[in-house]
Structure 1
């Protein structure tokens, strides 16, 4: 893996400081090992495929899921289901490292940026390797959609005022 990618992922992990970490894919442990060695109190689980991910049902969602070398080796419909499960059920934040816009030899699926943006993710970086270009996409449940200013009690009906005012 690219040294800049490793460094930036370490910075992302240090910023998030997860207390629980779900590692998905062959390369996820290699990239998360530095954080895990510095934080031995961090609970972590590793899943290599969709079946192991389904078996990784946790009582509480993981603070962070790191997905590396998994999506491109999985059928696209299964990979989208895996991402949706990570985003909706298993984790509060998701970091995905995937080659985008190209077919990698030996891969089961090809990805475009719109696939990941449609899942509510944003691109955090692009990294060149010898044979491919890796993109890092992130999803954070808490900054996914800011609360609009109109979403407050001032703009909604108040039953206690029904007989006093006509709108």
Structure 2
């Protein structure tokens, strides 16, 4: 069964290409159309640089050592896509602080028979709101022209 947050994200964002990251065995659900499965080892290969509109990292990928997982998530976020969705179960090596430190936001929570599953999402367009002072309105300070000597 396809996770509901993944289906909702695909429906809302309409990505042209989506990568579905898994470890060694393919996920136990049939991915939607235009979703390409890939292993973590292929993704972490230094020669792999194909970009995708959305990357989904399933919870079976998050049971490796923490440093490798941080590299995987950071490479997906920084190099391979501007939108990343991470599924975290109860036995993941990463925790909420790690995901927040990587600029992910808490996206959704689903209940399954095996427990609670957390979803974290990163979108480059919305990860940091633009501050009010960051606009060209007062940059030149025209009200101070000929009033002060700088």
**Fold agreement, TM-score > 0.5:** yes
Give 5+ residue unaligned stretches, structure 1.
37-41, 104-108
Distance 1:163 1:122, change over 3 A: closer
RMSD across aligned positions (CA): 2.9
Q: What is the TM-score with the length of structure 2 in the denominator?
A: 0.79
Aligned residue-pair number: 147
Paired with 1:8 and 1:85, the residues of 2 have a C-alpha distance of 22
Distance 1:94 1:15, change over 3 A: same
Of 94, 97, 112, the residue aligned with 2:84 is: 94
SS of residue paired to 1:62:
coil
Q: What is the TM-score with the length of structure 1 in the denominator?
A: 0.72
Alpha-carbon shift at residue 118 of structure 1 (Å): 1.3
Distance 1:49 1:163, change over 3 A: same
8 Å contact 1:9–1:31 — kept in the other structure?
A: no
Q: Which has the higher helix share?
A: 1
Give 5+ residue unaligned stretches, structure 2.
none
Paired with 2:10 and 2:28, the residues of 1 have a C-alpha distance of 13
SS of residue paired to 1:86:
helix
Paired with 1:91 and 1:128, the residues of 2 have a C-alpha distance of 28
Distance 1:157 1:135, change over 3 A: same
